[in-house]
Structure 1
Amino acid sequence: MTVRTRFAPSPTGFLHIGGARTALFSWAFAKKHGGDFILRIEDTDVARSTPEAVQAILDGMQWLGLDYDEGPFYQMQRMDRYKEVIQTMLVAGTAYHCYSSREELDALREQQMANKQKPRYDGKWRPEVGKTLPTPPAGITPAIRFKNPVDGVVAWDDMVKGRIEIANAELDDLIIARADGTPTYNFCVVVDDSDMGITQVIRGDDHVNNTPRQINMLKALAELDAKIVIPQYAHLSMILGNDGQKLSKRHGAVSVMQYDDDGYLPEAVINYLARLGWSHGDEEVFSKQQFAEWFDLDHITPSAAQFNTEKLNWLNAHYIKQADNAYLVKDITKRLAKLGVTVSEQPALSAVIDLYKERANTLNELAASIAYFYQNPVIDEVAAEKHLTAEIKPILAALTQSLGSIDWQAEAIHHEIEAAVTSNSLKFPKVAMPLRVMLTGIAQSPSIDQVMALLGKDEVLARINSALK
């Protein structure tokens, strides 16, 4: 049997990190087994689903490189199919009409809670052998409920959490179509999974409570169609923030595309998500393709995974170092433009990036740190007060004169700085640090002779003279 997995987000917001990890694990499982990965948009919540949210999901999947083999399928476009299955179930006796009004159900719930009972449907309209049902009230359009088994247990061997068993007596008859004819979430999922031949459902453990109901409905459909196979289930534990609390907006970037905005490479985010609750020995750095080759559900921890921003930054820094400079030039040009910086032909941006790429955790850091090559730097006052002293200024003025007559190469520049250091009985930083402040605005940079070589002679001399004045 061909492995078929699915990612089925609801378009009520952006693609968040938890959803992205679920998509990644579902994608990897399908790729590992030579199967199909399907994207399904569960948009039956009409009030909250938006085209913008759908696009945010598609953008997030594309940015992460999670290519799907089929889809996207939209539940709202499958309404006729759901209604067809409901009619089949009504005829088969596995579903029935329920005429209980909202007011009746609310009153029932309040009474049960007052009696410290679990709120549940009382089965008033459930047909049973020998049971006489009330006369349907006039003017009431009924909802449709699934006739859940009342005896035995529903059980499955969860591929992450192990054996799970729920007594059918704990489950009431859920509504599968509202009075207005709209099918409900749990029912649509069941029809979709059966129609699409899903073999493994990999999803968050907030769906564990839905699984026994869905299995029972799948069993009911399988009695009508022998080709229907109940999938295996794997429920992934939640992701916690750095503080051990459930990941939320207050932890910062929880939207996948926010990580793009914040300067993370998709390769780094994929690599990091792969390690959130899964491991392959001591391997920390690996490609998406390597992950697909290694991935299994046996090495997923059933306990919650904790998000670690420092670890993500470390991975991102690694991928920036490894990134192709031509790719980085295209990306950094856009980020500099957002900072109001226009990249000129000189110095070559690829050379500037090459000088700085090993010093940045994010692409935003990289862009900000090299902006001074293309605009006059804002000199940090504290650094200037510390390093541009009255004693050093005459030495820097003399150095400017000697720099004006040399062949502009890093080695020759270094030689002139060394000469100034030696002739004035100073240590190298005493000259290099004020040069950094005058040329870059701050006291930290890569090798100052390399920075000066890239900036160009005219620009270096102009900035030094301006700072000295």
Structure 2
Amino acid sequence: MEFATIPIMSSEPNKKVVTRFAPSPTGFLHVGGARTALFNWAYARANGGEFILRIEDTDKARSTPEATKAIIKDMQWLGLDWDQGPDPDADDPYANQIGDRGPYFQSQRSGLYDDAVKKLFEKGRAYYCFKTAEELDALRKAARAAKKPYQYDPADMLALNADKDALQARLDAGDEHVVRFKMPDHDVAVNDEILGEVVVQQAELEDFIIVKKDGGPTFHLANVVDDAAMGVTLVMRAQEHLNNTPKHVALFEALGLEKPRFAHIPLIFNSDGSKMSKRDKAKVARQAAKDAKLESVDGIDGQLFADFLAKKNDELPVALVIAKQLDLVLPEIDVADFRDSGYLPEVLDNYLSLLGWSPGNDVERFGPNPLSFLKENFTLDRIGKSAAKFDRDKLAKFNTEAVVMLPVDDFAARLKAHLAAHYPEYDDLVANDAHFKAFCEGYQERSRSLDEPAKGGRFFVCSDDEIVYDFTPKGIKKAMMKNDGEGFVMLERLVEAFGDLPEEGFGNAAHDWMAKTAEAESLNMGKIAQPIRVAVSSGTVTPPIDATLNILGKARTLTRFKNCIAVKPA
């Protein structure tokens, strides 16, 4: 039996390295895809090569321009640039592209795929298949009933293709069909840069579809034709694509195209060992809806919601509406989720790099510019074979350290942009330079992300009437109810004392009064400060009192003191 192998090369001294990232624009950029893009970018940059962004939009029903723009935005946020692909600065990336091997949207490359199919027909490596989905499903069920693995049998279709008159009659009649690729009659081996030699026996090879019923190319055909036409020298992708690679190798050979090298990187799992998937959001929302015994949600069709609960769909819009209605936080899965949650892009770059790759010597922090570090240090031989686990606690720790270490002005600029993008209610606070500076100083050292100041500081921007007091939590109960309600007694005293303080520099004056009073009366500052925090924020944690009261101002502070006193438990 003939044995097919692929020569493996550890380097390409005489050929420019060309890598690519080829997402499907059917949704947001998953962190697994971002990791693939990052590795391909890093390898190209480390070897003085080129990195291509190619949009694989052959799925006409699910591909959208909005998803394309979102992917471009996410990659730009991560700091990943490309040498060929959609113009990242163009309003219409479909019309404006950079590079000399485009277009870089598969929907614009149909002529190349048609030529490849024609060539495969001429070589006897492609044939028409008229089997219906129902027929194939019946054959699969029969195989399962016989406890045998199902394998597509091309015999009758090959016979039909050989009968030119019968074939033409069916084509002329408009019978629904696809085009299949005839696999070789020998084993196929792939020498993977990470996994080593992977052999697929000839008996396991199955003819697969290369042209769909709608006449469009499948992923397999378009992928191979484009990689060859764009001069890709290394195809680096997740291990879930390993089963596709022998098919692609066979296509390269049948078309007489030069094969690239292949490298399949480990999958990313959740900490519990489950595959990290976009469906995780649906799982969390579905369980929460069942726990809450929701029978419907606002704005969602009843049948769609019922099917969602019954696991018949994992529609993200349904999950998002459930999350909003139940005030539920869904797991971050996509790059946009982490951006919206206030993670720093350089932290995500750093952390994603560690999912399957290591620079060695137990190095985990790559400094303030992880992309520069990767450009200098990334090599294929440091990629592991085992699945990587996404540790959210570790990522949060990385982000906390990075946020705290940001230069003050940098933190302020990033927080300002984050608030503008997600929290317009902060516009007035941000517009006041002194207040915003105090806000930043109060939250930078205590924040795990750029989102925490927005959530923790909401009491600054809500109306006085929106503050709801609950005196049952332990810390609040201690501050307000201990020793026959000494916290309320202090607030009543502060209403009078603070009423005499000036409006200008109110927080500083209030802090001076507190310090003098605590010293004169041998009081712990907490006896004064904690009732203030509870009254103005309904919690026990705020920025320093002087900054907090400067931002709130005298009138709002006194109003909240009085509102808190008014709801004192009997």
Q: TM-score range by the shorter chain?
A: 0.7 to 0.9
* Residue 170 of structure 2, aligned match among 132, 140, 149: 140
Who is 2:414 aligned against?
327
Measure how far apart 1:417 and its partner are. 1.8
**SS in structure 1 opposite 2:109?**
helix
| Cα distance, 1:80–1:253 mapped onto 2, change above 3 Å | same
Call closer, same or farther: CA 1:425–1:149 in 2, change over 3 Å. same
CA contact (8 A) 2:339 2:345 kept: yes
Q: Structure 1's 393 and 146: CA in aligned 2 closer, same or farther, altered over 3 A? A: closer
Q: 2:203 corresponds to which residue?
A: 169
Query: Is residue 99–residue 137 contact of structure 1 (8 Å, CA) maintained in 2?
Result: no
- Aligned CA distance change for structure 1 residues 464 and 79 (closer, same or farther; 3 Å): same
**Counterpart selection for 1:276 from 348, 355, 358:** 355
The equivalent position to 1:355 in structure 2, one of 434, 442, 466, is: 442
**1:124 counterpart residue number:** 155
1:421 aligns with 2:532: no
Partners of 1:317 and 1:361 within 8 A in 2: yes
Change (3 A) 1:375 1:96: closer
- Give the superposition deviation at 1:374: 4.1
Taking the aligned partners of 1:125 and 1:194, their CA distance within structure 2 comes to 33
Across the aligned residues of Structure 1 and Structure 2, the Cα RMSD in angstroms comes to 3.2
Range with bigger deviation, 179-188 or 83-92? 179-188
How many Å apart are 1:467 and its aligned residue? 5.2
Give the TM-score normalised by the residue count of structure 2: 0.72
* Residues 270 and 177 (structure 1), Cα distance of their counterparts in 2 relative to 1, 3 Å cut: same
The answer for unaligned runs of 5 or more in structure 2 is: 1-14, 87-103, 172-176, 285-330, 481-485
- The 5 Å alignment of 1:339-418 reads 343-345=430-432, 347-376=434-463, 378=467, 380-382=469-471, 386-388=478-480, 389=486, 390-393=488-491, 395-397=493-495, 399-400=497-498, 403-404=501-502, 410=508, 414-418=511-515
State whether structure 2 residue 172 is matched by structure 1 residue 80: no
CA distance in 2, matches of 1:87, 1:405: 82
* Cα deviation code 1:64-118 (max 9, x no counterpart): 222221114111211111111222232233x233355336655554554444443
The one-letter amino acid of 2:49's match is G
Gaps of 5+ in 1: 223-227
Once residues 39 and 98 of structure 1 are traced to their aligned partners in structure 2, the CA distance between those partners, rounded to angstroms, is: 32
Contact in 2 for aligned 1:329/1:350 (Cα 8 Å):
no
Question: Which one of the candidate residues 230, 237, 258 is aligned to 2:337?
Answer: 258
Length-normalised TM-score, structure 1: 0.86
- Whole-angstrom CA distance in 2 between matches of 1:424 and 1:122: 93
Per-residue deviation at 1:26? 1.1
Aligned position for 1:225? none
Do structure 1's residue 236 and structure 2's residue 319 form an aligned pair?
no
The amino acid that maps onto 1:176 is I
Change (3 A) 1:414 1:216: same
Q: Structure 1 residues 258 and 406 mapped into 2: Cα distance closer, same or farther (>3 Å)?
A: closer
Structure 1 partner of 2:98: none
1:150 aligns with 2:185: yes
Residues 164 and 384 (structure 1), Cα distance of their counterparts in 2 relative to 1, 3 Å cut: closer
Q: 1:341 offset after TM fit, Å?
A: 7.0
Distance (whole Å) between structure 2 residues aligned to residue 290 and residue 208 of structure 1: 29
What does residue 97 of structure 1 align with? 127
